[in-house]
Structure formats: structure tokens, C-alpha cells
Structure 1
Amino acid sequence: MYQFNFQPVFQNMDLLLYGAWLTVRLSVVAMLLGLIVSLLGAVAKTSGIRPLRWIADIYVEVIRNTPFLVQIFFIFFGLPAVGISMSPNTAALVALVVNVGAYGTEIIRAGIESIPRGQIEAGRALGLNPVQIFRHVVFKPALRNIYPSLTSQFIYLMLTSSVVSVISANDLASAGADLNARTFASFEIYLVLTVLYFLLALGFSTVFAAIRRAFFTYPAGR
């Protein structure tokens, strides 16, 4: 009979909590930078400039059709062959941004293309310039439509960040692996890690839901 022993886990809970904090920090920075990449990619894909569309299409298709593990190995182990070396934490951040940027590009593109053409023409008739039309007529309504999909992708990003431990980047998964190598309490450690990742995902979901209620829910009748 297996004897459960959570004492090594509780004695090193500070290590796991610090790993959870590193995961949150990595995920938030990757989300913000990934949102910028996604927006630029969506604008490129919906623009009338053909070379920009080709570049965005190639980027999205390559990233969406290759495993994230291969992408992070390419960035960390492959790029040094051409003189581009990064620390594990930097490579992890770059890989996450590149990955979520491709998926976010398609989500934002779909939101932009969901805006009726008549609204854009109405903005032009009111004398708005292209930047004002994109900001007020296209982007805001599109963001409201795609917000659930975009936040779901960001939560998936946070969970996917556990893969970065394979290149020794600092996060919750790597903290658990280090603790497991010292205590060999695998069942207990990874059970606690499962709970922590669940709580992190629940926390992100709660924050995103609060943002949605604050900025994207209109009073009845509007």
C-alpha cells in the first residue's frame, strides 16, 4: 500500500508558490506582448498590401501547424547556430509570444471581418480618418465580439507555459520538477501542481470575467 506523504511538499511550499508567481509573471508579459503581435498580424492580414498579407499568412500557418515544443527547441537550441543565443527565460518568453501571436492573429482577424461594411462607410461619411475608423468603428466592437475567444486563448497560454520547463526556464513546472528530484514524492508534488495550475486558471478566468463585465457589458436597452 502506498503511504501518502505530503510533508516534503508543505515544507517546500514557498518554492512552489514562487514558481506559481513566475508562471503568472511570464504568462502576463507573454499575453500583453502577444496581443500586440496579434493586432499587428490581424491588421497585416486584413490590409490591402499583398506582401504584408503573405508574411502574416506564412507566420500564422507555420506556427499553427507545428508543435509548441518544437518551436521552443528551435528558438533555444536552433537559433544559436546562426548567432542568436538567449537565456532559458528569454527563449521561453519569445516562444510563448510567437505562439499566442499566431493564434491571436486569427481571432482578431475574424473579429475585424465580422464588422459590417456599412459601419465603416458610415464612419467615412462622418469624416473620420482611417485610424479613427479602425479604433472606434472596427476595433472596439470587434474586441467585444472576440473577447471570450481571446481570453480562452490566453488561459491556454498560461497552461502551455508549463512546457518551458524542458529548457530549464523558471516556472511552476520547473519548481515541481526540482522538488521531485530532491524528495521523490512524485504523486504528492504533481497533485499539488495540478491544484495550483487549476487555481491559476480559475484566477485568470475570474479576472477576465470581471473585465468583461466592466468594459463589454452594456446596460439593458442600449
Structure 2
Amino acid sequence: MQFDLTVLLPYLGVLRDGVILTAQACVLALVGSVVTGALVAIASTSASKPLRRIADVYVDIFRNVPFIVQMFFFYFGLPVLGLYIDAFTTGVVALSIAGGAFTSNVIRSGILAIDPGVIEAAQVFGLHKRTVFLKIVMPIALRTSIRPLGAVLVNLILTSSILSTITLNELTGSAKIVASDTFRPFEVYFVLLVVYAALTWSVSLAIGALHRRLNRDIVEVVS
């Protein structure tokens, strides 16, 4: 077999649209994961035992059930109850909920790692507990959790390939279409491999640079 990437030239637009759709789904899912994870982390660190229990159950369920099962439940199961959601929205919601279970542990660790003296100092100045949490605790927790959150984003990019199973033509779905049209699966999936590697590598580099920038003052103080 002769390796020939030129056969894919007429399909560059299809693959480009798949990359764009993957990027859109992952960005929205990251936002959803961070919001969901923050709420769950707040619940898991609260003084309320019921809230902590609910947070633990949520994390246990969505971390220990295969993502494809969760997604099929939303896409194929909910219509039985009269809830119809399009493939893109289903994918974003499923990724957000599943990602939130992992993000919650990241943010929770960031919250617990904060020096209690910082919180006590803020309270000495008469700041309300809610203000302390929203203005001091959460920003510090998110800043110190940049690298783990970056790992969550990389995982979202990789997991998004499963969205093709619900007829969403993201990157993997688009590649399947091209492979079936050209009968050149080797070239198609070689390009797919390279594109996914480039996406995740670029995200990792960007997250590393953002982490160094946000924590530059901490490094300077320590040094």
C-alpha cells in the first residue's frame, strides 16, 4: 500500500469543521466542569453533613461509571421520559457532569491546601465568610489548581472522541466519514492521531505557561 496524504486534500474542510466542533464542545465542557466542580467542592468542604454526603455520592457515581454509559443514558434514555436533547448539547452536558466529578477533587484539594492563617487574617478585618470564600479562598484554590485543571481539559479532549457514537461529527466523527468515503483508513487515522497529539500537546504547553505566570509571585517570594 502506498502512503498518500494527498487523497485527503478534498476533505480538509470536513476535518477542519470536526476540529472546530471538538474545540467548541471541549471549551464549553471545561466551563461546565469548573462550575460544577466548584459547587461540588464547596459542598464537600461545607459544615453540612448532608451536603458532604451528596457531593461524595455524585463524585463516586460519575467517576466510576464509564463515560459512554453516562452519555448513552442522556442521549437515548432521557427521551423515554420525554426529554429530547440534541447531540451537541448532550455531549457538552455529559462531558461537563463527568468532568465536574474530577474537577471537584482538584478544587477541593486546592481549598484544603490554603493556609488557615490567610482565612483568619481576612476574618480579622471583618470580612463576611461568603466574601472570604468568593474573593480569597476560591481564587487561590483555582490558581494553585491550574495544572490539574489542565489535565482535566486534556482528558476532555480525548474523551470527546466518544461523542461520535451519538452521531456528532466532531473530529473523530468527521474522520470516520472521510475514511468511509476514501477507503483510506490508514492515512485518515494517521492524521487523526497527529491532530489529537498536537491539540493535547498545545494545551499542555499553554497550561504550563499559564501556571508559571499566575504563580510567578509565589516563586519569587520563596526564592
TM above 0.5, yes or no, is: yes
Structure 2: gaps of 5 or more residues: none
CA distance in structure 2 between the partners assigned to 1:170 and 1:177 by the alignment: 9
Runs of 4+ off more than 4 Å:
none
Please name the residue that 1:49 is paired with.
48
Residue matched to 2:68: 69
Distance 2:89 2:136 in 1: 37
In structure 1, how many angstroms separate the alpha carbons of the residues matched to 2:75 and 2:123?
Answer: 47
Shift of 1:37: 0.7
Q: Which residue of 2 aligns with 1:95?
A: 94
Matching residue of 1:189: 188
Q: Distance in 2 between matches of 1:157 and 1:95?
A: 11
Aligned residue number for residue 28 of structure 2: 29
Matched, 1:114 2:113: yes
The residue that corresponds to 1:202 in the other structure is 201
Tell whether the 8 Å contact from 1:76 to 1:86 is kept in structure 2 after alignment: yes
Count of matched residue pairs: 221
Deviations 1:71-100 (A, max 9, x none): 111111111111211111111111100110
Letter in 2 for 1:98: I
Structure 1 gaps, min length 5: none
- For the Cα contact (< 8 Å) 2:144–2:215, is it kept in 1? no
SS in 1 for 2:153: helix
3-state SS, counterpart of residue 2 of structure 2: coil
Aligned partner of 2:54: which letter? I
Task: Indicate if the aligned counterparts of 1:89 and 1:170 stay in contact, CA closer than 8 A.
Answer: no
Identify the range of structure 1 (209-218 vs 13-22) with the bigger mean alpha-carbon deviation: 209-218
RMSD: 1.6
2:32 touches 2:97 (CA, 8 Å); kept in 1?
Answer: no
Q: What CA distance in whole angstroms lies between the structure 2 residues aligned with 1:75 and 1:32?
A: 19
| Secondary structure of 2:221's aligned partner | coil
Instruction: Work out the CA distance in 1 between the residues paired with 2:85 and 2:221.
Output: 53
The more displaced of 138-147 and 59-68 is 138-147
Amino acid at match of 1:220: E
Q: How far did 1:185 drift?
A: 0.5
Separation of aligned partners in 1, 2:96 and 2:133:
24
Conserved 8 A contact 1:38-1:103:
yes
Q: TM-score, normalised by structure 1?
A: 0.93
Aligned partners of 2:158 and 2:33: how far apart in 1?
Answer: 15
* 1:95-153 alpha-carbon deviations (Å, 9 max, x no partner): 10011011101111111111232322222112111122113432233223221111111
What does 1:157-176 correspond to in 2, within 5 Å? Answer: 157-176=156-175
